Amino acid sequence: MTTIKLHNTRTRTKEDFVPISADNVRMYVCGPTVYDRAHLGNARPVVVFDLLYRLLRYTYGADHVTYVRNFTDVDDKINATALARQKAGAAGTLEQLVQERSDETIGWYLHDMGALGALEPNEMPRATQYIGQMIAMIEGLIEKGHAYAAEGHVLFAVDSWKEKYGALSGRSVDDMIAGARVEVAPYKKNPMDFVLWKPSTDELPGWDSPWGRGRPGWHIECSAMSYELLGDSFDIHGGGNDLMFPHHENEIAQSCCAHPEGDFARVWLHNEMLQVEGKKMSKSLGNFFTVHDLLEQGVPGEVIRFVFLQTHYRKPMDWTEKKAREAETTLRKWRALTAGIEPAASAAPAVIAALSDDLNTAGALAELYRLAADGDVADLLASAQLLGLLVPEMGAWADTASVDLTAHADRLADARAVAMQNKDFSEVDRLKAAYLAAGVEVRMSKEGVELVPGAGFDAAKLEGV
């Protein structure tokens, strides 16, 4: 068995990964807040941890890995949409409308991430299904002196865990107080204390608790759900590096204080952020788009996945249209090359070695290019499929077998013959431009004319040429 090496944020080193139990390798990844469509940046951790999930399944067996990713469905933006719908006359209670909005968004999310080839995790708990467990955990924290109730709120007392709080992100409590703009509330004993529970107004969803009607803070859900589904010690915890502080620090504080007998998560993985054409994605820059937007524009999910995998997860990645076009051409070639071929029994050793080296996806892709160049198509197919590429269910976009371009090629050859005679190439140029616009590569030589579907091929654009 290949030893997987992973960069552990906690120790800041690349370590040999040794699971607590090889029979059940357990991974928790912070999932989305389900208030709207996922933007392209949201998709990066999904692809990164999907790849790790696939590698773990490959290494330990598909039945020996448990992957949990939550849905945060307690959130002010979800409430705001539900409230706006109620005011606009939508039927149902506020709770029902909140649930409706979450259900709708979760449906979109699973569809869009599925289009990127992401396998669904084994468990996808929703925060609203674990309120009782969160309340129990908060009660335990109060009993142990790590939390206190004040004015309908319950806060985690950072001073009760002061030596260890901040270890993951490498900060001390005193530095954080000095450097952070923290909300100073009169009921906080220390400005860094964070909310475990807060009161709800009548206009907001709420649950009965020992501290009155209210709702949980954000961080406690991951601690409660990971404990319920994976236990007090599990192997891997993942998420974007924007979650390292405060979210992951707070998860660690809550979980380690509530269950001091456990280790919580042993290995922490954080992916870097995504940019678009060299710039941070933002609504004000006009470069903000969702995965759904890209899919609607005809960028295949497999192409998005390929572009993501070109950059190592711990480096910032840049989404560019050029990369997407090149990825499409490559995938189209590889799909044509492997059509009708049975994949080899296992991925090529060099591909497994690259992935096992802290998910060196760029190295794995380089190996795929080599296999394609060498004509090792069965190995290419098996190896690509380990990366979630060239899988049959994602290939509809590249299915050009049914497109017969012979008639068009003949027509262009005829036009060329005529043009040679009368020295007027305008019709040839017109046809070539039309084929290029439809994403067709035009190859003209003495032997004849060949038309090949290329990046962005669109059969509809051939009509009327």
* 226/385 with CB nearer Zn ion: 226
What is the C-alpha separation between 459 and 404, in angstroms, rounded?
Answer: 10
Inter-residue contact 209 to 149 (CB < 8 Å): no
- Check if the beta carbon of residue 339 is closer than 8 Å to that of residue 401: yes
How many C-beta neighbours within 10 Å does residue 171 have? 17
Least gap, CB of 247 to Zn ion (angstroms): 5
Q: Which is nearer to Zn ion, 205 or 246 (CB)?
A: 246
Q: Residue 321 has which token pair? A: 């249209």
Toward Zn ion, which CB reaches closer, 70 or 338?
Answer: 70
User: How many Cβ atoms are within 10 Å of 231's Cβ, its own excluded?
Assistant: 14
The minimum distance between CB 96 and Zn ion, in angstroms, equals 27
Contacts of 256 (CB under 8 A, 6+ apart): 161, 164, 262, 263, 264
Binding part of the chain for Zn ion, among 28-36, 120-128, 255-263, 370-378 by CB under 5 A, reads 28-36
Stretch that binds Zn ion, among 26-34, 175-183, 252-260, 268-276 (CB under 5 A): 26-34
| Of residues 212-241, those binding Zn ion (CB under 5 A) | 222
Residues in 252-281 at the binding interface with Zn ion, rule: CB under 5 A:
none
Q: 113 or 299, CB closer to Zn ion?
A: 113
Give Dmax (Cα) for the chain. 95
Question: Of the two residues 134 and 222, which places its CB atom closer to Zn ion in the complex?
Answer: 222
Angle between helices 40-60 and 349-356 (to 10 degrees): 120
In the complex with Zn ion, the residue whose CB is nearer, 30 or 173, is: 30
Under 8 Å between Cβ of 214 and 206: yes
- Does 30 participate in binding Zn ion (rule CB under 5 A)? yes
Q: Rounded to the nearest whole angstrom, what is the least distance from the CB of residue 220 to Zn ion in the complex? A: 10
Count the residues of the shown chain that bind Zn ion, applying the rule CB under 5 A: 2
| CB burial string 424-436: b at 16+ within 10 A, e below | eeeebeebbebbe
Least Å from the CB of residue 236 to Zn ion: 13
Give 238 or 388: the residue with its C-beta nearer to Zn ion: 238
Q: Nearest 5°: phi and psi at 170?
A: 75, 40
Alpha helix (H) ranges present in 194-248? 219-230
Tell me the closest approach of the beta carbon of residue 174 to Zn ion, in angstroms.
25
Closest to Zn ion by CB, 268 vs 319, is 268
Which residue lies nearer to Zn ion by CB, 225 or 372?
A: 225
Structure tokens of 21?
């139990």
Contact call for residues 223 and 255 (beta carbons, < 8 A): yes
Question: Which one-letter amino acid corresponds to residue 280?
Answer: K
Least separation in angstroms between CB 205 and Zn ion: 20
Taking the CA atoms of residue 340, residue 346, residue 349 and residue 355 in that order, the dihedral angle to the nearest 10 degrees is: 90
For the CA atoms of 69, 70, 71, 73, the dihedral, rounded to the nearest 10 degrees, stands at -170
Binding site for Zn ion (CB under 5 A): 30, 222
